[in-house]
Amino acid sequence: MKKAVSFILIFVIICGMISSATAYAIKPVTDKELQITAPSAVLMEKETGLIIYKKNADERRAPASITKIMTLLLIIEDIESGKLSLTDTVTASKRAASFGGSCVYLEEGERMSVDEMLKCIAVVSANDCAVAMAEHLCGTEQAFVERMNERARELELKDTHFTNCTGLFDDKDHYTTACDVAVMSRELISHDLIKNYSTIWMDSIRGGEFELSNTNKLVNRYDGCTGLKTGYTSTAKYCLSATAERDGMEFIAVVMGSKDSELRNSDASALLNFGFANFSLCPLRMDDPLPALPVELGKEKVLPLKYAGGEYALVPKGNTNPEYELLLPETVKAPVKEGQILGELVVKTEAAGELARIPLMAAKDVEKLGFFGIMGMLGKSLLGL
Residue type, 39: P
Of 40, 65, 198, 241, the catalytic one is 65
User: In whole angstroms, what is the distance from residue 276 CA to residue 273 CA?
Assistant: 5
Are 252 and 242 spatial neighbours (Cβ–Cβ below 8 Å)?
A: yes
Are 243 and 250 spatial neighbours (Cβ–Cβ below 8 Å)?
A: yes
Are 81 and 68 spatial neighbours (Cβ–Cβ below 8 Å)?
A: no
User: In whole angstroms, what is the distance from residue 89 CA to residue 156 CA?
Assistant: 33
Alpha carbon dihedral 23, 24, 27, 31, in 10-degree steps, equals -140
Of 40, 125, 185, 269, the catalytic one is 125
User: In whole angstroms, what is the distance from residue 222 CA to residue 220 CA?
Assistant: 6
- Point out which residues pair with 362 in neighbouring strands: 305
- Closest alpha carbon to 47 in 283, 322, 344, 321: 283
Are 318 and 309 spatial neighbours (Cβ–Cβ below 8 Å)?
A: no
3-class secondary structure, 62: coil
Of 68, 119, 229, 237, the catalytic one is 68
Q: Is 125 among the residues known to form the active site?
A: yes
Residue type, 345: L
Sign of the Cα torsion 268, 270, 274, 280 reads positive
Q: Is 158 among the residues known to form the active site?
A: no
What percent helix, strand, coil does the chain show, rounded to 5?
A: 35, 30, 40
3-class secondary structure, 107: coil
Sign of the Cα torsion 282, 283, 287, 290 reads positive
Asked if residue 188 has a cis previous peptide bond (ω within 30° of 0), the answer is no
Q: Is 185 among the residues known to form the active site?
A: no
Rg, the chain, Cα only: 25
Q: Which residues are known catalytic residues?
A: 65, 68, 125
